[in-house]
């Protein structure tokens, strides 16, 4: 097979692709240190917008709500996805297997606005008023397929010999799962949980439709700042989000490389 790097223009195209992808992010980071109130006019280096962002009570409340919703939704979605993957991959004589997989992955097949409107109507019909609870339920629902896919892929790539050997040694199904299956699929579970967490933190459409007093998430708050006018404070917030994402990605890579036998 011919090395793709030897094709004419491949290196230049790749370089241009990464410049196009990451240059806007670098510009946002650079202008987060701008002293001027106008985000696009550079007048000098300053930390003032980071101080302003970290002292902004509304911003900190939005971050707290986003982290709370994302953490709870991730725990629920990952648990449901793990159980669904175990049944659909390891289960025997499961009726309507394909239909069940379609139902689990349905939030991926539907436009998010459709799902958001559906849950909004549902909550309105049942009279649910708690904004935080509405966000947790909605985020848990659309995060399930994002957690399900990595877990299912990990289970499908794992031979059943280890589980059968544990059962031959009189291990109960729970002991087999806890001591054999779960450690082997842990990277997939972690990847699914991290993906669900990021999707929840990043969600805007559903959070905006379900937004009520005291339940404003970070993306909705940032959208409100943009409508009021862009300042370097928004750049500082975005830079802190990028930093948090890099920490999560680095943690995932470190855990993967420290457990090469499970990768």
| CATH code at position 160 | 1.10.3720.10
Q: Is residue 9 part of a domain?
A: no
Q: Are 211 and 203 a contacting pair, CB within 8 Å? A: no
Q: What span, in angstroms and rounded, lies between the C-alpha atoms of 53 and 58?
A: 9
pLDDT, one tens digit per residue, over 223-238 is 887 777 767 888 888 8
Count of the separate structural domains present in the chain: 1
CA distances from 248 to 136, 238, 251 (A): 21, 15, 5
Checking phi first, is residue 112 left (phi over 0); if not, alpha (psi -120 to 50) or beta? alpha
Q: Are 205 and 116 a contacting pair, CB within 8 Å? A: yes
Q: Is residue 21 part of a domain?
A: no
Angle between helices 232-258 and 10-31 (to 10 degrees): 130
Q: What angle do CA 37, 41, 43 make, to 5 degrees?
A: 80
* Residue indicated by tokens 């909705």: 220
Q: What span, in angstroms and rounded, lies between the C-alpha atoms of 74 and 37?
A: 37
pLDDT, one tens digit per residue, over 140-162 is 999 999 999 989 988 888 877 88
Q: Is residue 20 part of a domain?
A: no
- DSSP H helix total and E strand total for the chain: 13, 0
Structure tokens at 104: 């689990």
Q: Is residue 24 part of a domain?
A: no
Helix or strand holding residue 32 (H, E): none
Q: Is residue 112 part of a domain?
A: yes
Q: What is the mean pLDDT of residues 71-83?
A: 94
Q: Are 70 and 201 a contacting pair, CB within 8 Å? A: yes
Q: Is residue 114 part of a domain?
A: yes
pLDDT at 171 over 70: yes
- Label residue 258 by pLDDT band (50, 70, 90): low
User: Structural domain of residue 188, as residue ranges?
Assistant: 57-262
Q: Is residue 122 part of a domain?
A: yes
- Label residue 263 by pLDDT band (50, 70, 90): very low
Q: Is residue 156 part of a domain?
A: yes
Residue 45: beta bridge partners? 34
- Label residue 117 by pLDDT band (50, 70, 90): very high
Q: What span, in angstroms and rounded, lies between the C-alpha atoms of 183 and 90?
A: 16
- Label residue 188 by pLDDT band (50, 70, 90): confident
Q: What is the mean pLDDT of residues 165-183?
A: 84
Helix or strand holding residue 190 (H, E): helix 182-202
Enumerate residues 6+ apart whose C-beta is below 8 A from 5: 11
Residue 34: beta bridge partners? 45
Q: What span, in angstroms and rounded, lies between the C-alpha atoms of 38 and 42?
A: 8
* Residue indicated by tokens 């299956």: 181
pLDDT at 2 over 70: no
């Amino acid at each position: 097979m011919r090395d793709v790097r030897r094709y004419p223009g491949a290196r230049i195209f790749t370089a241009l692709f990464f410049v196009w992808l990451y240059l806007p992010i670098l510009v946002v980071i650079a202008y987060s240190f701008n002293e001027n109130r106008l985000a696009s006019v550079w007048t000098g280096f300053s930390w003032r917008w980071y101080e302003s962002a970290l002292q902004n009570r509304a911003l900190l409340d939005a971050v707290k709500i986003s982290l709370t919703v994302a953490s709870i939704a991730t725990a629920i979605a990952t648990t449901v996805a793990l159980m669904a993957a175990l049944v659909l991959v390891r289960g025997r004589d499961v009726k309507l297997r394909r239909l069940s997989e379609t139902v689990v992955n349905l939030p991926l097949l539907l436009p998010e606005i459709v799902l958001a409107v559906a849950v909004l109507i549902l909550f309105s019909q049942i009279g649910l008023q708690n904004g935080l609870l509405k966000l947790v339920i909605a985020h848990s629902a659309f995060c399930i397929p994002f957690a399900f896919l990595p877990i299912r892929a990990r289970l499908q790539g794992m031979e059943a010999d280890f589980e059968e050997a544990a059962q031959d040694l009189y291990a109960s199904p729970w002991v087999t799962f806890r001591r054999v299956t779960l450690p082997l699929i842990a990277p997939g579970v972690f990847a699914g949980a991290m993906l669900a967490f990021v999707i929840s933190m990043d969600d805007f459409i559903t959070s905006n439709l379900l937004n009520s007093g005291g339940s404003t998430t970070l993306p909705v708050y940032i959208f409100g700042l943009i409508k009021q006018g862009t300042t370097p404070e928004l750049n500082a917030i975005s830079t802190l989000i990028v930093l948090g994402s890099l920490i999560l990605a680095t943690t995932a890579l470190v855990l993967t490389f420290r457990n090469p036998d499970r990768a």
